[in-house]
C-alpha cells in the first residue's frame, strides 16, 4: 500500500490584519506523513497533538487534503 501525507486545516481560525481588523481564515492544524489513508492520518494527528482538544477545535470541521509526493 502507498504511503501518503496529509494536511489538516480548520475553518475556525481567525487572525488580525496589519491594520488590526479581524480576518477569518483557515488555520493549519498539522501535517501527518507516512500513513496509508486519511482516517489513519487523523488518528495520528489527534494522538500526537492533545492541544487540539484543549483548544476546543471542532474536529468534525477539519478539512483534509492529501499532499502530493515527489
pLDDT digits (tens, 9 = 90+) for 1-17: 789 999 999 999 888 88
Q: Whole-model pTM above 0.85? A: yes
Q: Which three cell numbers stand for residue 28?
A: 493549519
19-26: long-range pairs with CB below 8 Å, 24+: 26/63
Q: Is 28 exposed, middle or buried (0-12, 13-18, 19+ CB in 10 A)?
A: exposed
Per-domain residue ranges of the chain: 4-67
Residues with Cβ within 8 Å of residue 34, at least 6 apart in sequence: 3, 5
pLDDT digits (tens, 9 = 90+) for 13-50: 888 889 999 988 999 999 999 999 999 999 999 999 99
Amino acid at each position: 500500500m502507498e504511503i501518503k501525507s496529509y494536511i489538516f486545516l480548520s475553518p475556525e481560525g481567525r487572525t488580525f490584519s496589519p491594520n488590526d481588523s479581524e480576518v477569518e481564515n483557515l488555520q493549519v492544524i498539522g501535517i501527518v506523513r507516512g500513513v496509508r489513508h486519511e482516517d489513519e492520518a487523523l488518528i495520528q494527528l489527534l494522538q500526537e497533538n492533545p492541544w487540539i482538544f484543549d483548544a476546543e477545535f471542532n474536529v468534525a470541521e477539519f478539512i483534509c487534503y492529501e499532499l502530493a509526493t515527489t
